[in-house]
Amino acid sequence: MRQAIRKLEVLRYDPDTDSTPHFQSYEVPCQDDWVVLDAINYVKENLDRTLSYRWSCHMAVCGSCGMVVNGESVLACHAFLRDYPEKIRVEPLGNFAIERDLVVTIDDFVEKLRRVRPYIVSEKKRSVESGENLQSPEQLAVYKQYTDCINCLLCYSACPQYGLNDSFIGPAALALAHRYNLDSRDVGRSARADVVASNPGIWECSFVGACSEVCPKNVDPAASIQQMKIASTADYFMRFLMPWRKQ
């Protein structure tokens, strides 16, 4: 298989020794079928053992290897080198603090994900003995698209609103809230409303759509947020027209 020399410019930052991030260049012999993650692994294994980054499955499933490659937020295991020019610049995800090299701190996302209650809120407690909480295929189809999120955070890296307003809940967390709001087994929509249907929630989104453009699983978080805006607006008017109606 033909090998080609690729030039990688990788952002480096060691908080113990560096005052600011800087780029370091490497020349990597790459195979035709390599992805960016393969090239970074080559650097780690053969050229520079100090390089830090996250990865796990190499199958676009775990979401660990999100990076910015030539200005675009991508999964490094899903970005083929053949689709890029000879010189490739690799940076950590945008809009997050850099922990070290290509590793970012995701504590803010984890906290916001927790706030939207990304789990089924049942009307009454179910025991193991009661068996599965079944759904029809039609009920599953309503929200199935939003279950494909792998929390890779590419949408947060691409989202201009998250970059401008650190209180914004953000695309992935809101899309997952929508997933559970649409689940026929869930009754937690009103409990999530204080966070979801708030200014830091759906109303902060200006519908740029960058989150959906970079999503590797076609979750379309931008669409989920707009759907929640419509549902929230309907709820607002229904409270005046039918105040006795249970939300």
Residue 167's domain is classified under what CATH number? 1.10.1060.10
- Based on the fold, state whether residues 111 and 227 are members of the same structural domain: yes
What domain count does the chain have?
2
Query: 46 is written with which tokens?
Result: 């053969």
Q: What is the DSSP letter of 45?
A: I
Q: Are residues 15 and 98 in the same domain?
A: yes
Residues 69-101: tens digit of each pLDDT: 999 999 999 999 999 999 999 999 999 999 999
| Claim to verify: residue 83 and residue 140 sit in the same structural domain | no
**CATH code assigned at 46:** 3.10.20.30
Of 88, 104, 120, the domain-final residue:
104
Residue 145 is which amino acid? Q
> What is the distance between the alpha carbons of residues 206 and 213, in angstroms, rounded to a whole number?
15
> Does residue 205 lie in a domain region?
yes
End position of a domain, from candidates 69, 104, 139:
104
**Side-chain-facing half-sphere of 81: CA atoms under 13 Å:** 22
Q: What is the pLDDT of residues 142-189, one digit of tens each?
A: 999 999 999 999 999 999 999 999 899 999 999 999 999 999 999 999
pTM: 0.92
**Pair (70, 112) in one structural domain:** no
Segments forming the whole domain that contains residue 117 = 107-241
| Gyration radius from the chain CA atoms | 21
**125 and 105 Cβ atoms separated by less than 8 Å:** no
CA distances from 36 to 16, 29, 159, 216 (A): 27, 12, 23, 15
List the structure tokens of 211: 């989150």
